Structure 1
Amino acid sequence: MLAPLRRGSGDPTTRVDPSGAVWWGTTTPAGPTTLRLRKNRAGEVEAAAWGQGAHLVLDGVPGLLGAADDASGFVAVHDVVERGRRASRGVRLCASGRVWDVLVPAVLEQKVTGREAWRSWRELCCRFGSRAPGPVEELRVAPDPLQLRGIRDWEWHRAGIDGARRRTLIAAASVASRLERAVELRGAEGRELLQKVPGIGPWTAAEIAQRAWGDPDAVSVGDYHLPTIVGLALVGRPLDDEGMLEALAPYEGHRHRAVRYLGAAGASRPRRGPRMPARDYRAV
């Protein structure tokens, strides 16, 4: 249910227990909060929450489950996209309703491998975040803007976070409350607001928008692999960003949705294609 919000199998802010219930620790304006989602025998999703922001998180459950997502205007013009659409029946774009908790990992994922970014995310949550309220001892909540601004320089280095990403996160933390308005603005206007933060460009803004308000048109321009994946799937050859946007033009308004359908259809980068090299900033 919350797969787009999970950063790797070791994400300390999410857990799936043996019963299949999904646990999520998140920040809210009222404080750290925990949400549990589970399906009952009737197939209905039951929600429970712990913490001072429990009422806020519970109010956001419909959006989190994609209740506001509207794919009615989507028309597949490629067979592979149609296959993905059929494979994704019932799957909706989730919306966390909050910028901060998806902004931090999105910035961490800038220009590094997923494994590097996820390790840094675990470090920040476990060492500088909070224990999530409720019964799951190991569940964590990401550091809020105040906690993040209190991290010392050498601690950033220890977490494997270089100066550029550190400066972006600190800049975002200083205006975090204003950035939450992007959820209300939505679409291109919401993404433009996010990009007012130095260090947040189109790629990062799209990654945030996809999760914070379930933006169906936010394309991750600047992604290392996406143009190749889209190009091979739609036109049979790798593309650059400009070519990718041209190939996705028939899906304007739903371009991110089309990319999600490509993933559901099995589109992926070549196994022997170029890969971004892993780096360890702790050794710098």
Structure 2
Amino acid sequence: MTPAGPGTVSIRWSGGDVVVECFGPGGAWLQQQSGRMIGADDTDDHGLAAAEHPVVATAAHADRYLRFGASGDLYHELLPTILEQRITIGEAHRQWKRLCLELGEPAPGPFTRLLLPPEPSLLARQPSWWFHPLGIERKRAEPLIDVARHASKFWEWSALGGAEAGRKLRLLRGVGRWTIGSVLGPAIGDPDAVAVGDFHLKNVIAHNLAGEARGTDERMLELLEPYAGQRGRVVRYVARHGSAAPKFGPKKRIMTMHAW
């Protein structure tokens, strides 16, 4: 979805060049946004390859061509992120697919299997109990509905800086620090956004930056403090090139919500 209506963007490499094709009423908006989507304006040298910590420096050097993109679409980023609250990523992906199959319309262009996210006015009309057969309980259904009801505000919010956009998002029901930290990076390209409250992330950072098998959110933020302004970038580097935190105990059984 775009401010001008539904649209589809296709971005591909061809002979060393970036080729952008856009379709639908929102195509012109997507064309203007495409440079930010691929991180074309994220070209500054942030100095992380020269960081004192060897893990950060090594990961930053390995990912020196990685760019922070920005979709500019908070609505589209918020919906699947809310679904990821408190469940596994695989189950969240299945629920997102089912939600789009139920309420999404075919996307403009030649991509016959591509669906749009649910249109805000349609999603906002659904009662919370409607989501249960999809595996989405009331605690996540209500934030989805609330996001849909406020969707028109997000275009203005996405033009704000990370801190101000985060303050606005905290006004929404069921949108907390983890959700905000997860969407500000891909939606507005905020390189400092960190998903506080993540089940795994605090352990990954504590293990790689301090050699500690387990960490807390407070410890994670303490270790990331030297990289203020680029903490989200450091998290991405370490997650991609650092080592996994040690695992203890048996695996948890996964039970889908609709089977309860």
- TM-score interval (norm. to shorter): over 0.9
Aligned to 2:221: 245
Q: 1:56 aligns with which of 1, 14, 29?
A: 29
Q: 1:112 aligns with which of 79, 87, 95?
A: 87
Secondary structure, aligned partner of 1:37: strand
Q: CA deviation at 1:175?
A: 1.2
Corresponding position: 1:138 with 2:110: no
Secondary structure, aligned partner of 1:220: coil
The 1:219/1:80 distance shift into structure 2, 3 A limit, reads same
Q: CA deviation at 1:48?
A: 0.4
Q: CA deviation at 1:220?
A: 0.5
Q: CA deviation at 1:28?
A: 1.3
Residue pair 1:206, 1:220 contacting (<8 A) in 2 also: yes
* Structure with the higher fraction of residues in helix conformation: 2
Residue pair 1:130, 1:140 contacting (<8 A) in 2 also: yes
Residue pair 1:108, 1:120 contacting (<8 A) in 2 also: yes
**What's the TM-score, normalizing by structure 2?**
0.93
Greater relative contact order, per chain length (Cα 8 Å cut-off, separation 6+):
1
Secondary structure, aligned partner of 1:250: helix
Letter in 2 for 1:28: T
Q: CA deviation at 1:68?
A: 2.6
The 1:177/1:198 distance shift into structure 2, 3 A limit, reads same
Residue pair 2:208, 2:242 contacting (<8 A) in 1 also: no
CA shift digits 1:79-133 (9 cap, x unpaired): 1111111111211011001110001011111111101111111011122111111
Between 199-208 and 271-280, report the one with greater CA deviation.
271-280
Q: Aligned partners of 2:237 and 2:119: how far apart in 1?
A: 33
Letter in 2 for 1:45: V
Q: How does 1:20-99 map to 2 (within 5 A)?
A: 27-41=1-15, 43-75=16-48, 76-99=51-74
Tell me how large the CA RMSD over aligned residues is: 1.7
Q: How does 1:145-160 map to 2 (within 5 A)?
A: 145-160=120-135
Q: Aligned partners of 2:252 and 2:82: how far apart in 1?
A: 17
Identity percentage of aligned residues: 38
The 1:131/1:99 distance shift into structure 2, 3 A limit, reads same
Q: 1:236 aligns with which of 211, 225, 234?
A: 211
Aligned to 1:14: none
Aligned to 1:10: none
Q: Aligned partners of 1:87 and 1:242: how far apart in 2?
A: 28
Secondary structure, aligned partner of 1:228: helix
**What's the TM-score, normalizing by structure 1?**
0.86
Aligned to 1:188: 163
Give the unaligned 5+ runs of structure 2. none
Letter in 1 for 2:244: S
Aligned to 1:15: none
The 1:220/1:146 distance shift into structure 2, 3 A limit, reads same
Q: CA deviation at 1:161?
A: 0.6
The 1:98/1:164 distance shift into structure 2, 3 A limit, reads same
Residue pair 1:32, 1:130 contacting (<8 A) in 2 also: no
The 1:248/1:87 distance shift into structure 2, 3 A limit, reads same
Give the unaligned 5+ runs of structure 1. 1-26
